Chains A and B, each alone.
Chain A
Amino acid sequence: MPTLKMTLNGQEVSVDVEPGDLLAYVLRDKLGLIGTKISCGEGECGACTVLVDGKSVDSCIYPALKAQGREVVTIEGLGEDSRLDPIQQAFIDRTAPQCGYCIPGMVISAKALLDETPHPTRKEIEEGISGNLCRCTGYYQIIEAIELARERLAGKGGRG
């Protein structure tokens, strides 16, 4: 069984995987990181979004071995015990999570967007989460949360 070695949320990990194993399942079933969700199984909904070398990918269709030697960040890698990532805090402050099943993927997509484009327009925010489906919210409070995170990250504080 091949061994997958990667940097996962800042730590070196190695784990035995089958050649066909997909990253989402390895993260959840072998590494116990349940924050990454599986919903559609075909890369349509983005619930399984993680960062690989800073780019967002749908981990439910991403071969685990493709992450060999790369840097993977999951929702568990954001923020610290005592302090949330500003994106996570903004999601709370804008009442963005309803059922919350899409939220880890949404937060990771927002992270990928804001890392690459620190001052995204509303349209760029929409494009940034266009691969993430949500059935609860209509997306509005998620967009507002990302706008708030954008303001806070730019040091403007943001309203409330």
Chain B
Amino acid sequence: MSNKVVGQSVPKIDAATKVRGQRKFPQDFNLEGQLYAKVVWSEYPHARVLKVDVSQAEALPGVVAILTSKDVPVNEYGINIIDQPVLVGEGEKVRWLGDRIAIVIAESEKIAQKACQLVRVEYEPLPVVTDPREAMKPDAPLIHEERSDTNILKHIKIRKGDIEKGFAEADVIIEGYYVTPHVEHAYMQPEAGIGYIDEEGRVTVIAAAQWSHDDLHQISHMLNLPIDQLREIVPAIGGAFGGREDMYIQHLLALCAYCVRRPVKMVFDREESIRNTGKRHPYYMKYRTGATRDGKLTAVEIEIISDAGAYASTSVPVLSNSASFAAGPYIVPNAKVDAYTVYTNNAVAMAMRGFGSTQPAFAYEMQMNKLAEALKIDPVELRMKNLFEDGSIALTGNPMPPGVGIKEALRQTALAAGWGEEDGNWVKPELGPPSAPYKRRGIGVACGYKNVGYSFGFDDRTRVVVDLALDESGEIARALVKLGASDQGMGAHTALAQIAAEALGIDYQKVRMALVDTSMVPNAGSCSASRHVYISGNAVMRACQEALRKREEALRTGERRVSAEYEYRGRSVRPTTPYDGDSGMCNPHISYGYTSQIALVEVDVETGETEVLKVWAAQDVGRAINPEMVKGQAGGGVHMGLGYALTEEFIQKEGLVKTRRFSEYHIPTVADMPREFIPLIVEVADPTGPFGAKGVGEMTTLPTAPAIISAIHDAVGVWIDNLPATAEKVWRAMRSRS
């Protein structure tokens, strides 16, 4: 397919202002007469608040107001299940450190900070529950005793085929137990923003958000105000990765503005951001995988326990994703999955790049590599025998929709990494000598797949308005695309502008994207589920086609302005359905992206330190709207995956935070990244995607950790089943082996 704009690496629409430092992020906004707010955070992971005394703090000159639970019209919120207090009042419980007791509003940030320390809070400490496996037990202390008599928030079951028959047919059975940690999103821009009453009297928030229109629903509930009296403006977002899907500052800014009727600015410092916001879920995963001698999978039995933390957030949908992806992109005729998500007093766990597909990808790919070793079959070859094709029956009983590119992704990755292929037999390359006598080299393979669009019957829709300005001769002088699609940095606005330009047949430079301001743009759903190119791209394309039809009319009447509106719904193409309660059978997702990576590592046998030398990363995106942006997603995904594999772990002890800042929580620096990175773009079109496109944002993180950990095994013979594989962990594993 030849296109003029789609498929071209045009400059990102916001790049020029970003490289000049001109593009405004939430902390860059200031308003005349603004006040400053700071939060009094909980000091205990689980306690009853006995007394909140603000008298000393109120007396401090410059303090304007101190908000407590009594000031919140409806003191509860939650993105999926409403179980979170906005502020915790006397007699109520704090359930993690990120719970808030009060908000101090003052003439300066320094005064607000000082006043926070003068707020006296008396607590009655309660037993702290930090391990979800313990929290599941019937005698465990309850986190939400008013809601339920168990800490188990959700149990999902999948029963496919006959598990006993499946294991009876197996020649080899691999058992594994995998543990993955809490991960901090670590976006570079800490939470910040400003709340004020706008010229129309609306409670208005400027902040980074992944779904501004949904934030308004939640704020509307909290303030008991109709949506049309609320407004959210989303300027440049300094990264999000799922971490801004829930509200961590938006509702607080709205509450401040609502209460004091003046502009109020609030900026979290890095420690506040790490301590008090959501994380990737820790998972405990028990796997049993059966296969025949020639490498055909016969059965899997899986138990997943996820640590939801103190509040539900999106733990249930995240778990739902995990269960559906639990066996990987492989045909498995017999399966039994039990997945649980459980309340604890740990950090709230929430959406993070992969949304529940990341943790099981580590487990199922470790299983595949262990199986390959046990069967003495090359890991690429073993996968090729089992990978999905169009129409393959997935774990949840549904046929995979057209556009399954996983075999092609793996094929390209393996060939690029030096594998040889003859008649379906795959042969691993020679790795060459290590760089020092005390180092060993190894190579590891992994695959993954991730949904594009919302799942399990959740209505996925984007509404968009396209305005055209026509010149004297009726040509399109300018197009303005208006939709509430946040761009957290990955380039959603650029990709959507490219799709608009292509659909309208005009230059990319003639397209402008409206600022996300709920008073000006329609609801486009969240910036998550890797969905904006697929769902919003479909909406933009169709709105543009409608605009072109209206232009024909305008040419007859002499009108110079054309406006078209379109709502695209995922269910119009592929309706999804929720899990059947007994069997788990369903049609879980709309579309899928596929990925495969190979990692080459060197392990220092004296220290256990792993250096990743090279990563080959293929992503089947259906159609690359902007190839350089796809490569950018691949690089960022590998960065996050490498951190997951080797360095990143948000550590809590008894609910208290041990990794409080960037000097204690280590995201990879440039020196930690593989010196060579080979991104490969695979384009197996999804016929329902705009120009065949699927999505790319999340899947790039999935295979990195299992590829690296399997490469470590290839190098030094130890399996690290508990992430991250720090030098100490690898060294200890080597020592206990020898």
In the complex formed, the residue of A with least CB distance to B188 is A101
Interface string of B626-646 (1 = CB under 8 A from A): 101101101111111000000
Q: Which listed residue (B237, B239, B637, B662) contacts A44, Cβ 8 A?
A: B662
Given A137-B639, A139-B639, also A40-B662 (CB < 8 A): yes
Interface string of B177-193 (1 = CB under 8 A from A): 00000000111111000
Q: Are A135 and B667 in contact (CB under 8 A)?
A: yes
Q: Which listed residue (B18, B21, B632, B640) contacts A76, Cβ 8 A?
A: B21
Q: Are B15 and A139 in contact (CB under 8 A)?
A: no
Kindly specify which of A63-71, A90-98, A112-120, A151-159 makes contact with the partner chain: A90-98
Q: Are A92 and B628 in contact (CB under 8 A)?
A: no
Question: Does B473 count as interface, using CB distance less than 8 angstroms?
Answer: no
Question: Does A100 count as interface, using CB distance less than 8 angstroms?
Answer: yes
In the complex formed, the residue of A with least CB distance to B22 is A35
Given A99-B488, A137-B635, also A35-B21 (CB < 8 A): yes
Q: Are A37 and B189 in contact (CB under 8 A)?
A: yes
Q: Are A98 and B9 in contact (CB under 8 A)?
A: no
Q: Are A98 and B662 in contact (CB under 8 A)?
A: no
Question: Does A34 count as interface, using CB distance less than 8 angstroms?
Answer: yes
In the complex formed, the residue of B with least CB distance to A36 is B21
Chain B nearest Cβ from A54, distance in angstroms: 19
- Within the assembled complex, what's the spacing in Å between the Cα atoms of A135 and B648? 13
Q: Are A98 and B661 in contact (CB under 8 A)?
A: no
Interface string of A75-88 (1 = CB under 8 A from B): 11011000010001
Question: Does B312 count as interface, using CB distance less than 8 angstroms?
Answer: no
Q: Are B24 and A141 in contact (CB under 8 A)?
A: no
Question: Does B456 count as interface, using CB distance less than 8 angstroms?
Answer: no
Given A98-B489, A99-B488, A136-B490, also A91-B15 (CB < 8 A): yes
Question: Does B691 count as interface, using CB distance less than 8 angstroms?
Answer: no
Q: Which listed residue (A88, A91, A139) contacts B635, Cβ 8 A?
A: A139
Q: Which residues of A contact B269 (CB under 8 A)?
A: 41
Interface string of B486-509 (1 = CB under 8 A from A): 001111000000000000000000
Q: Which listed residue (B12, B16, B188, B237) contacts A47, Cβ 8 A?
A: B188
Question: Does B25 count as interface, using CB distance less than 8 angstroms?
Answer: yes
In the complex formed, the residue of A with least CB distance to B241 is A135
Considering only CB atoms and an 8 Å cut-off, how many residues of chain B contact the other chain?
A: 56
Quick one: which of B639-691 are within 8 Å of A by CB?
639-640, 661-663, 667, 669-671, 673, 677
Question: Does A57 count as interface, using CB distance less than 8 angstroms?
Answer: no
Question: Does B28 count as interface, using CB distance less than 8 angstroms?
Answer: yes
Q: Are B631 and A140 in contact (CB under 8 A)?
A: yes
Given A76-B21, A92-B16, A95-B15, also A134-B188 (CB < 8 A): yes
Q: Are A98 and B236 in contact (CB under 8 A)?
A: no
Q: Which residues of B contact A35 (CB under 8 A)?
A: 20-22
Q: Which residues of A contact B141 (CB under 8 A)?
A: none
- Within the assembled complex, what's the spacing in Å between the Cα atoms of A99 and B488? 6
Q: Which residues of A contact B239 (CB under 8 A)?
A: 98-99, 101, 135-136
Q: Are B635 and A74 in contact (CB under 8 A)?
A: no
Most chain A beta-carbon contacts within 10 A, residue among B185, B188, B634, B677: B188
Most chain B beta-carbon contacts within 10 A, residue among A35, A98, A107: A98
Q: Are A100 and B238 in contact (CB under 8 A)?
A: yes
Q: Are A99 and B27 in contact (CB under 8 A)?
A: no
Q: Which listed residue (A95, A99, A133) contacts B238, Cβ 8 A?
A: A99
Q: Which residues of A contact B186 (CB under 8 A)?
A: 135
Chain B nearest Cβ from A112, distance in angstroms: 15
- Give the bracket for the number of chain A residues in contact with chain B: 35 or more
Q: Which residues of B contact A138 (CB under 8 A)?
A: 632, 634-639, 673, 677
Q: Which listed residue (A36, A100, A129) contacts B23, Cβ 8 A?
A: A100
- Within the assembled complex, what's the spacing in Å between the Cα atoms of A129 and B671? 9
Q: Which listed residue (A74, A84, A98, A100) contacts B636, Cβ 8 A?
A: A98
- Within the assembled complex, what's the spacing in Å between the Cα atoms of A138 and B11? 19
Q: Are A88 and B670 in contact (CB under 8 A)?
A: no
Q: Are B489 and A39 in contact (CB under 8 A)?
A: no
Quick one: which of A28-70 are within 8 Å of B by CB?
28, 33-42, 44-45, 47
Interface string of B182-220 (1 = CB under 8 A from A): 000111111000000000000000000000000000000
Question: Does B14 count as interface, using CB distance less than 8 angstroms?
Answer: yes
- Within the assembled complex, what's the spacing in Å between the Cα atoms of A65 and B271? 26
- Within the assembled complex, what's the spacing in Å between the Cα atoms of A129 and B14? 22
Q: Which listed residue (B9, B19, B27, B489) contacts A136, Cβ 8 A?
A: B489
Chain B nearest Cβ from A41, distance in angstroms: 5
Q: Are B669 and A39 in contact (CB under 8 A)?
A: no
Given A44-B662, A98-B490, A143-B670, also A133-B188 (CB < 8 A): yes
Q: Are B21 and A84 in contact (CB under 8 A)?
A: no
Chain B nearest Cβ from A68, distance in angstroms: 23
Q: Which residues of B contact A101 (CB under 8 A)?
A: 25, 187-189, 236, 238-239, 489
Most chain A beta-carbon contacts within 10 A, residue among B190, B629, B640: B190
Q: Are A93 and B236 in contact (CB under 8 A)?
A: no
Q: Which residues of B contact A100 (CB under 8 A)?
A: 14-15, 18-19, 23, 236, 238, 489
Q: Which listed residue (B21, B22, B491, B673) contacts A98, Cβ 8 A?
A: B491
In the complex formed, the residue of B with least CB distance to A93 is B11
- Within the assembled complex, what's the spacing in Å between the Cα atoms of A92 and B18? 9
Question: Does B560 count as interface, using CB distance less than 8 angstroms?
Answer: no
Question: Does B270 count as interface, using CB distance less than 8 angstroms?
Answer: yes
Q: Which residues of A contact B670 (CB under 8 A)?
A: 126, 129-130, 132, 139, 143
- Within the assembled complex, what's the spacing in Å between the Cα atoms of A88 and B238? 19
Chain B nearest Cβ from A121, distance in angstroms: 12
- Within the assembled complex, what's the spacing in Å between the Cα atoms of A75 and B490? 22
- Within the assembled complex, what's the spacing in Å between the Cα atoms of A94 and B18? 13
In the complex formed, the residue of A with least CB distance to B639 is A138
Q: Are A97 and B15 in contact (CB under 8 A)?
A: yes
Question: Does A102 count as interface, using CB distance less than 8 angstroms?
Answer: yes
Which 10 A-B residue pairings sit nearest by Cβ, starting from the closest?
A: A35-B21, A99-B489, A138-B635, A100-B18, A101-B238, A75-B21, A95-B628, A138-B639, A98-B489, A101-B188
26 contacts between A and B (CB under 8 A): A34-B24, A35-B21, A37-B21, A39-B188, A39-B270, A40-B662, A42-B662, A79-B20, A84-B16, A92-B15, A93-B11, A95-B15, A95-B631, A98-B491, A99-B187, A100-B238, A103-B21, A129-B670, A130-B669, A130-B670, A135-B187, A135-B188, A135-B636, A137-B635, A138-B634, A140-B635
